[in-house]
Structure 1
């Protein structure tokens, strides 16, 4: 495992905390565009009874499952922004050691705060673009991720997968879009950037998994229940 030599502690002061100080580089990275994947996992998960990062799926947790899915050729590093339940996540989520954990100490201020912490970490890593992926979408397929990466490699400022007329995840945001994300209204976050800059947006084909979010116990049982019963 290769380690980047610049510790996250050298990042801007609001960049959160990285356990261990160094962010490992993915052994898979071989892309022409340096992309860092950011898993957004700081929420409380109040509707489902606790942090979604810790929900079980296939013998592991949502956070570990999503992070492993993003650690693939074309992705230089994976960062997870955690918040609620951070202590339990650090000790019990089974996150691979190559995934950097950055703690959002004010997670109740909304997802945009986690996005900005992810951008700070990606900036420290010299990224050209980020993939933003909420932890509650564990079914995004490799072809969907690869389609977003391909669009970024071709020069897209923002690349988003779509399925059935709905936008899905992960969203790819090139560095040119980061100032707009930093200036976005907290209540609207990345949605404001998509609305204000339609000329930046490239839609790529996704599948049902990219729009299949888990928000409630009913969602969990619908999506995960059949997997447990196999």
Structure 2
């Protein structure tokens, strides 16, 4: 039967850890083996894991063959001795060898003989993924012989692991680090599976659901026939929706990571399913049909105003890679191959936004009693440090807004690769400088990042964290926070530039933000300095003291 809640499609966890959670508490002991690092050619990738009992493999894979056979014996021994281990295996045997692997590489692996000790961490990870929040599982390994293993789950970059976590999330790759005298650490990014909605639960839909499940898609099937859309007929799906094709597709939750395959039993249902998702911002839409059928549907959709040419032409139709497929199974392979192809292309083509940084430095320094931006800080001046930090970030362009003591400040920063603008109305307050800086932003910018010139304590890491959040979020206003308080920088989508420039001068940037609470994403940072600026001599001396502590 149709279940309305299924239209929400919550995140699914289908990895070795969810298998471990389900088996936790069983009478038999388990060992979890993970590939920590590889050199050269090996049968599986870094991060591949497998779960073993003393009788052998029960879930996951290390690539099979000699590597997995060797791991099976080591797992049984680790379970018997209740002792974890780190070990390496050489796969560089000669071609004549019958017993050794000849892949040409080496692998280093971790045997966790007591994975239940970290079961609460795995459960926290599962809850996070089900809520649609990706993160990184950090495993600390102290020693190689019977090492102590500690795991932690981070659903956002924080603390001393911020750089490693950001790198893992950005590249979607594992990271293994070792430092003398410190535990080794393994960083493993975990993401919700991309949703795949299959319209049509016939033979092709069933075959696609099976393959797509093996390829790590979260599969939902829509059909108006209860005898087709059910767990008995399509056991590889996560959700089965019995409803009119068009109505169900319209109700289904969709995101930029959603993939849609339309393989219903007829032209009418195909058309209804396509109309219901054509406007959606999704990763992929594919529809089955001959070239003649697709051509006729394209003509119909355009002539009736259901789609324009560019909308229809983004559809993968006829669906699937051209591999000369004839049978149902071959067609399913061609469709799933195209899904994987698009998924990899999207991962490689993820583009960082073009961000212009605006540094506000036009104030009179009235509380300091002298031009504070020219005071020494670090290896240069206060404003020089701020500019250097911004230039070290991924911001593409830097605009510095000056006003009071304009010429002195201009001469101090003239050798930096920045654009300097003069706010002649600086006495009217900070908002006048925001407006002045925005007027200098080119139309190519996706977003602007507003910074204060008297916050040299904020590094490139905090700035890049905002930029990455802007890239990954659908929100267009990104604000740095510490605790429950908002600070600087603030990153604002270019769509708001016109509104800000036209806002009354007696207003403030805060007014603009309060007008769009639904479009705000707060990004937590461990740096409390985002809440502070340097206004007085006491502030300056305190920040110098803090700066020297961290040098």
**TM-score, length of structure 1 as denominator length:** 0.79
Equivalent residues of 2:368, 2:537 under 8 A apart: yes
TM superposition shift of 1:173: 0.6
1:66 maps to: 386
Which stretch has the larger CA shift, 149-158 or 32-41?
149-158
- Separation in structure 1 between the aligned mates of residue 415 and residue 530 of structure 2, nearest angstrom: 22
Which stretch has the larger CA shift, 164-173 or 148-157?
148-157
Matched, 1:128 2:446: yes
TM superposition shift of 1:31: 5.6
- Separation in structure 2 between the aligned mates of residue 135 and residue 109 of structure 1, nearest angstrom: 17
- Separation in structure 2 between the aligned mates of residue 70 and residue 167 of structure 1, nearest angstrom: 20
- Separation in structure 1 between the aligned mates of residue 401 and residue 535 of structure 2, nearest angstrom: 18
Equivalent residues of 1:63, 1:95 under 8 A apart: no
1:173 is matched with which residue: 492, 510, 530?
492
Equivalent residues of 1:31, 1:75 under 8 A apart: no
CA separation of 1:48/1:156 partners in 2, compared to 1, >3 Å: closer, same or farther?
A: same
Instruction: For residues 56-104 of structure 1, give each alpha carbon's deviation from its aligned partner in whole angstroms, at most 9, with x where no partner exists.
Output: 201311111111111135311111000101111122x245431111111
CA separation of 1:98/1:164 partners in 2, compared to 1, >3 Å: closer, same or farther?
A: same
Matched, 1:221 2:541: yes
Matched, 1:141 2:459: yes
Matched, 1:83 2:395: no
Segments of structure 1 that go 5 or more residues without pairing to the other structure are: 1-29
- Separation in structure 1 between the aligned mates of residue 373 and residue 402 of structure 2, nearest angstrom: 8
**Per the alignment, in what secondary structure is the counterpart of residue 440 of structure 2?**
helix
2:373 maps to: 53
Larger Rg: 2
- Separation in structure 2 between the aligned mates of residue 132 and residue 226 of structure 1, nearest angstrom: 24
Equivalent residues of 1:43, 1:52 under 8 A apart: no
Equivalent residues of 1:64, 1:95 under 8 A apart: no
1:13 maps to: none
CA separation of 1:199/1:96 partners in 2, compared to 1, >3 Å: closer, same or farther?
A: farther
2:437 maps to: 118
- Separation in structure 2 between the aligned mates of residue 136 and residue 73 of structure 1, nearest angstrom: 18
Question: Number of residues paired by the alignment?
Answer: 199
1:150 is matched with which residue: 462, 468, 492?
468
Segments of structure 2 that go 5 or more residues without pairing to the other structure are: 1-349
- Separation in structure 1 between the aligned mates of residue 437 and residue 386 of structure 2, nearest angstrom: 16
CA separation of 1:203/1:34 partners in 2, compared to 1, >3 Å: closer, same or farther?
A: same
Say which structure, 1 or 2, has more relative contact order (CA 8 Å, 6+ apart): 1
**Per the alignment, in what secondary structure is the counterpart of residue 367 of structure 2?**
helix
Equivalent residues of 2:435, 2:501 under 8 A apart: yes
Instruction: For residues 120-172 of structure 1, give each alpha carbon's deviation from its aligned partner in whole angstroms, at most 9, with x where no partner exists.
Output: 11126x21111100111111133211111012213431101000221111100
- Separation in structure 2 between the aligned mates of residue 146 and residue 205 of structure 1, nearest angstrom: 13
CA separation of 1:73/1:140 partners in 2, compared to 1, >3 Å: closer, same or farther?
A: closer
**TM-score, length of structure 2 as denominator length:** 0.34
TM superposition shift of 1:185: 3.6
Equivalent residues of 2:447, 2:493 under 8 A apart: yes
- Separation in structure 1 between the aligned mates of residue 351 and residue 531 of structure 2, nearest angstrom: 26
Instruction: For residues 174-206 of structure 1, give each alpha carbon's deviation from its aligned partner in whole angstroms, at most 9, with x where no partner exists.
Output: 111223322334333111011111111110012
RMSD value over aligned CA atoms? Answer: 2.1
CA separation of 1:127/1:52 partners in 2, compared to 1, >3 Å: closer, same or farther?
A: farther
2:521 maps to: 202
Equivalent residues of 1:162, 1:204 under 8 A apart: yes
